[in-house]
């Protein structure tokens, strides 16, 4: 296993390098002068020169790239251009709020959609299944922004069931503030999750071992809960794991609408303020977290599923 872990880590080095190359090229080459991006088209020449010096943009590109790699390794991304905060501290302080929104949301969504998907696929082809499918396509087709705006307006402003926005470091108050964003987040993802899980479950139901289980007289419920559920966990886990990096990124929109001081909200703020260093750092850090998660998942798979051997890659 350790051999596999090390090999998998080594394999992610070129990917890490690729990501840093792409991000660097995006922010330093594609858009022309980053200082102009930051200051806007009407900046004076002196301001541009100042910003260039401050961000080290006057150095040759190769040195800028080395500087950038150093930033990644030391996790020191300098300061935000607009707020002057140290980006590293900013990111670290944002992780808590983001995770307290995204982790409960992910667990609730997965639990609910898996349960509903099991029920729906048990009755597949019957009217419950058909009605449910149409309903979940309806849920999926509404724009995400509409959920947030209408949810906030109706449930918080009109009915007063939830606070309109805010955040607290105190745990019980935090739950009070986060309840509505969590509910909206669940609604946002429920439709597509259920459809995916339903398909994965139905794919398992048509396998031979299910027929065998039925043939030996097991009840349909037992077949579903014991055999089908277990085997359809592989696509389900893959699906959930893909969302893990987004746990850290959080929901850009939910965080910014509910004034949750997390990573997602910061990213939106950075876009609005044209905060070049913050945007670059966010893109880099979250991509690296994504790569690390994929490595861990691959290792976990091999621990969980004995059919995948450690010997071969892929």
Partner 1 sequence: MWTVALKRVFHKKIPLACAFVILFFVLVAFAAQFFGFGAAWDTPIGAQYLPPDFSHFSAWLGTDILGRSVMYKAIQGTRVALSVGIITAVLSAPIGIFFGCVSGYFGGWIDELIVWFITTLSSIPNILLLIAISYTMGRGMTAVYIALTATSWISLARILRGEVLKHKQKEYLIAAESIGVGHAKRIFKHLLPNITHQIILSMTFMIEIAIRSEVLLSYLGLGVQNLPSWGKMIDDAKGELSTGVWWQLTGATVAMFFLMFAINVLGDYLRDALDPKANI
Residues lying near partner 1 in the complex (CB under 8 A) are found at 14-15, 18-19, 21-23, 26-27, 30-32, 34, 37, 124, 137-138, 140-146, 149-150, 153, 157, 199, 202-203, 205-206, 245-246, 249, 252-253, 257, 267-268, 271-272, 274, 279-280, 282-283, 286-287, 290-291, 294
Q: Which two tokens stand for residue 32?
A: 């022309």
Nearer to partner 1, 31 or 166 (CB): 31
Neighbour tally for 190: CB within 10 Å: 19
Distance of closest approach, residue 169 Cβ to partner 1, in angstroms:
27
Distance of CA 254 to the CA centre of its chain: 13
> HSE (CB half, 13 Å, CA atoms) of 266?
33
Can you tell me whether residue 239 is helix, strand or coil? helix
Nearer to partner 1, 21 or 303 (CB): 21
Distance of closest approach, residue 246 Cβ to partner 1, in angstroms:
7
CB of 299 closer than 8 Å to CB of 4: yes
Smallest CA-to-CA distance from 248 within 279, 278, 280, 293 is with: 293
Nearer to partner 1, 15 or 234 (CB): 15
Distance of closest approach, residue 130 Cβ to partner 1, in angstroms:
11
Nearer to partner 1, 236 or 279 (CB): 279
Neighbour tally for 14: CB within 10 Å: 9
Q: Of all residues in the chain, what percent are helix, strand and coil, respectively (each to 5)?
A: 75, 0, 25
Nearer to partner 1, 100 or 284 (CB): 284
Cα–Cα dist 59/51, whole Å:
12
Distance of closest approach, residue 191 Cβ to partner 1, in angstroms:
9
Distance of closest approach, residue 170 Cβ to partner 1, in angstroms:
27
């Amino acid at each position: 296993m350790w051999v596999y872990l090390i090999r998998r880590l080594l394999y992610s080095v070129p990917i890490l390098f690729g990501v840093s190359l792409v991000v660097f090229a995006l922010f330093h080459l594609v858009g022309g002068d980053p200082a102009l991006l930051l200051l806007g088209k009407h900046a004076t020449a002196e301001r541009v020169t100042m910003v260039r010096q401050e961000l080290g943009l006057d150095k040759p590109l190769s040195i800028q790239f080395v500087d950038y790699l150093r930033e990644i390794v030391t996790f020191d991304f300098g300061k935000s251009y607009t707020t002057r905060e140290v980006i590293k501290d900013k990111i670290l302080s944002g992780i808590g709020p983001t995770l307290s929104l995204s982790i409960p949301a992910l667990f609730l969504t997965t639990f609910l959609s898996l349960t509903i998907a099991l029920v729906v696929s048990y009755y597949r082809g019957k009217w419950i299944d058909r009605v449910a499918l149409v309903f979940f396509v309806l849920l999926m087709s509404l724009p995400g922004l509409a959920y947030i705006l209408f949810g906030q307006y109706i449930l918080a402003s009109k009915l007063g069931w939830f606070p309109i926005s805010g955040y607290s470091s105190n745990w019980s108050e935090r739950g009070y503030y986060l309840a509505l964003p969590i509910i909206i987040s669940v609604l946002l993802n429920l439709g597509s999750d259920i459809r995916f899980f339903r398909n994965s479950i139905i794919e398992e139901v048509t396998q031979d071992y299910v027929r065998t289980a039925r043939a030996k007289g097991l009840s349909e419920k037992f077949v579903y809960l014991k055999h089908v559920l277990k085997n359809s966990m592989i696509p389900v886990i893959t699906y959930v794991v893909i969302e893990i990096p987004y746990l850290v990124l959080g929901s850009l929109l939910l965080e910014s609408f509910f004034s949750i001081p997390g990573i997602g909200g910061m990213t939106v703020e950075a876009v609005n303020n044209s905060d070049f260093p913050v945007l670059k750092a966010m893109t880099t850090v979250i991509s690296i977290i994504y790569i690390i998660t994929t490595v861990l998942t691959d290792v976990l798979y091999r621990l969980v599923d004995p059919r995948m051997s450690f010997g071969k890659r892929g």
